[in-house]
Structure 1
Amino acid sequence: MMKMKKTNNGTKAVWAGEKDYLVHGATQVPVVLSVAYGYDDMDEWYEVAVGNKKGHIYGRNTNPTVQAFEDKVKALEGAESATSFSTGMAAISNTLSTFLLPGDRIVSIKDTYGGTNKIFTEFLPRLNIEVVLCETGDHEMIEEEVAKGCKILYLETPTNPTVKITDIKRMAKAGHDVGALVVVDNTFATPINQNPLELGVDLVLHSATKFLGGHADALGGVICGRKELIEKIYHYREINGATMDPMAAYLLLRGMKTLHLRVKKQCENAMKVARYLQTQELVEAVFYPGLETHPGHEIAKKQMKDFGGMFSFSVKGGVETMRQLLPKLKYANRAANLGAVETTVGPSRTTSHVECTPEERALMGIPEGLVRYSAGIEDVEDLIADLEQAFQSVSSEAKV
């Protein structure tokens, strides 16, 4: 018998997770909006309700459209199991709440997404959970803190918005040496560019709102990993109620069919635009792991297939220059989102870290004039020309 070749992620993005949910000869997964599912056989109903038989009983628990979405992400990440949430932050908060108890200790990095950082600095300490935030990229410091003992080691790589890189394989070993769960937010990388489970982590999560959906029209979050871990998270989520909406699941499923193509183009555009920005007089620094000047470039090359569609840059003149520059861009939404087919830009103080004070952002190494740039799928020549006219306009106004 001929051995089947391993299916690549581009094909999985189109086909994975859908076959079991197609009905009446349809080629697309339907949107199932029913809240409840009826049974004439009382024993069968019971078996489904207690999880002994496949099926659905109530929409807060499971839904066919939502399950198809979970199965597709599970296939892309190479996981045993997955469960979804109403938003990316729900995925993060529910996961942490599932495993952390008063008196526990969690180790993470300073450069996580602003909402995640607020959980670490504001909400977990209220529950008498010790939170240690290490300098991102200081692997020795992280290892030292982890060696003191922790319940969870939580990482985000690349980080939002400074796109710093952490060595996943090295950190997974450090966490497992003390029996910690290792969790990685893979939103920026996507399963196309990086698969943390293959590098040894226990759980990988995404804000599906971003690259997975790719069209800025559906909220969602998802977490993947070993079945016994996902079952615990699912149980917490089903009781606490942060359930993904079936229509959102449908939109995310549809978006993911082009994930491989979109991400490939976004990576290509990000690299070319980042290199262009390095040549601009008004630009102080460009932060993109694909650039040889990036401190995490070598680690990124080792653990990523490509460097992602996200980067950030700082401008001379800080906030004032940024205020003048961004409104002049014709081919960029100025909005608090990322990963969409359209290019999206914005300062971190109104996007990723709007919840934080200027002082908190400064401690995380985020300048007030930092611009987060999410490359879309437009022709890159137009994106560069757009930036060129914006820079020229700002420079001309400065000389008047």
Structure 2
Amino acid sequence: MTNNPGSKKESNMETTAIRTQIERTQFMEHSAPLYLTSSYVFEDAEDMRASFSEEKERNIYSRFSNPNTSEFIEKIAAMEGAETGYAFATGMSAVFSTLAALLNSGDHIVSARSIFGSTHSLFTKYFPKWNISHSYFNVNEIDSVESLIKPETKILFAESPTNPGVDIIDLEELGRIAKKHNLILIIDNCFATPYLQNPIKFGADLVIHSATKLIDGQGRVLGGVTVGSADLIREIYLFSRNTGPALSPFNAWILSKSLETLLVRLDRHCENALKVAEFLEQEANAENVKYPFLKSHPQYEVAKKQMKLGGNIISFEIKGGLEAGRKFIDNVQLCSRSANLGDTRSIVTHPASTTHSKLSEEDRLEAGITPGLVRISVGLEHIDDIIKDLKQALNA
């Protein structure tokens, strides 16, 4: 399947992202072509039988696999240190399908409370329909995790850094707990990407990405991916093969090409974000600035242990609460007002009135989302222009 200079283990991540590719066709193309086909043909009846019985490893139908999605999966798996994976139409389809494939009626999830709003809705609104329960732990109280584990607990789930509060959870400690209690540890690694953090090194069994964000990096396509141990991915593959949340070949082609520039993009994202965070710490109208590689971050030492750089997401509070937060959003000129993140363009979001607005006020506060909280996804514009815009909006 691949055309690599040496094995994946021998290659550095930049090389893996660029040189992992599907085999060239007879046309000897340098860049992987698009395989826009819904199905594939067979040589004869025996070839067809053997393929459907999985005696042969080959493409049958693009809901199951496609050369473009296979290339994307192989790249992410290699970069994360995983055995294999499966690619999805969106990040949330990756989250839902991964959990639904592994959980049965009566099972229990232990999760960090600070998670994406739609994941929270899965736990609180939809999984209870199938008698799947959950318990939350505060990201700052990891010592409480073991007290929440029940005989029926099957999965330990967390994001780190968290959305939108940019808290850091000690993945090594979660890995220890999961191994001790024979739990499946699943980490949503969206904010970090495979470049900045590899949860499998700390004991994670599965890693999930919303590829829509930094992996695409340009706000073009939707996508998601789960990678990890082959036995767990097998269950996720079988579930997804039947339920149909597969990533399209075109989006997979885009995302695979995006991985080739992920590291150089992230270097600039992180450089800009640290400078923005340092600027915000000095601003009178901004407080509780949180960025993983700021020394003032409560989990700074943990972040330095498990992340290469701090990422591109900053959270802070505007003095004045909800109305001040909205006024700040209204007054930005360069930065985009959007609920997305990880784009080349800097983006400001007011989570209490947008991404987490469906949560009750109590749930938002429990997740650390105050009325004045603002999330900034720092882009690739010149740092002076980003800071100039934020400064005038804060002073407005």
Fold shared, TM-score > 0.5 on shorter chain = yes
**1:384 counterpart = 2:387:** yes
**1:145 corresponds to:** 148
Partners of 1:43 and 1:350 in 2: CA distance: 58
Q: Deviations over 1:178-201 (max 9, x none)?
A: 111000000001100000111111
For residues 318-337 of structure 1, the aligned pairs below 5 Å read 318-337=321-340
Partners of 1:20 and 1:50 in 2: CA distance: 24
- Of 360, 364, 373, which residue of structure 2 is paired with 1:361? 364
**2:14 corresponds to:** 10
For residues 178-257 of structure 1, the aligned pairs below 5 Å read 178-257=181-260
* Aligned residues of 1:21 and 1:68 also touching (Cα < 8 A): no
1:22 deviates by 5.5
Partners of 1:20 and 1:147 in 2: CA distance: 48
Using the size of structure 2 for normalisation, the TM-score is 0.95
For residues 163-182 of structure 1, the aligned pairs below 5 Å read 163-182=166-185
1:23 deviates by 5.5
1:20 deviates by 2.5
Q: Deviations over 1:67-93 (max 9, x none)?
A: 111111111111110101111001111
- Of 265, 268, 292, which residue of structure 2 is paired with 1:265? 268
**1:110 counterpart = 2:113:** yes
SS in 1 for 2:308: coil
**1:338 corresponds to:** 341
Partners of 2:278 and 2:259 in 1: CA distance: 28
SS in 2 for 1:151: strand
What is the Cα-based RMSD across aligned positions, in Å? Answer: 1.7
* Aligned residues of 1:197 and 1:203 also touching (Cα < 8 A): yes
Q: Deviations over 1:264-292 (max 9, x none)?
A: 11111111101100111111221111111
Cα separation, partners in 2 of 1:335 and 1:53, compared to 1, 3 Å? same
Partners of 1:267 and 1:148 in 2: CA distance: 42
**1:373 counterpart = 2:385:** no
SS in 1 for 2:146: helix
Q: Deviations over 1:304-324 (max 9, x none)?
A: 111111111110011222222
Partners of 1:146 and 1:170 in 2: CA distance: 15
* Aligned residues of 1:147 and 1:178 also touching (Cα < 8 A): no
1:331 deviates by 2.2
* Aligned residues of 1:211 and 1:340 also touching (Cα < 8 A): yes
Using the size of structure 1 for normalisation, the TM-score is 0.94
1:327 deviates by 2.7
For residues 50-129 of structure 1, the aligned pairs below 5 Å read 50-129=53-132
1:66 deviates by 1.2
Partners of 2:131 and 2:108 in 1: CA distance: 9
SS in 2 for 1:20: coil
Partners of 2:345 and 2:317 in 1: CA distance: 21
Partner amino acid, structure 2, of 1:303: Q
**1:34 corresponds to:** 37
1:51 deviates by 2.0
**1:306 corresponds to:** 309
Partner amino acid, structure 2, of 1:32: Y
Q: Deviations over 1:305-350 (max 9, x none)?
A: 1111111111001122222222322321111100111111111134
Partners of 1:22 and 1:357 in 2: CA distance: 54
SS in 2 for 1:373: strand
* Aligned residues of 1:21 and 1:64 also touching (Cα < 8 A): no
Cα separation, partners in 2 of 1:230 and 1:150, compared to 1, 3 Å? same
Cα separation, partners in 2 of 1:355 and 1:64, compared to 1, 3 Å? farther
Q: Deviations over 1:243-273 (max 9, x none)?
A: 1111111111122211001111111111110
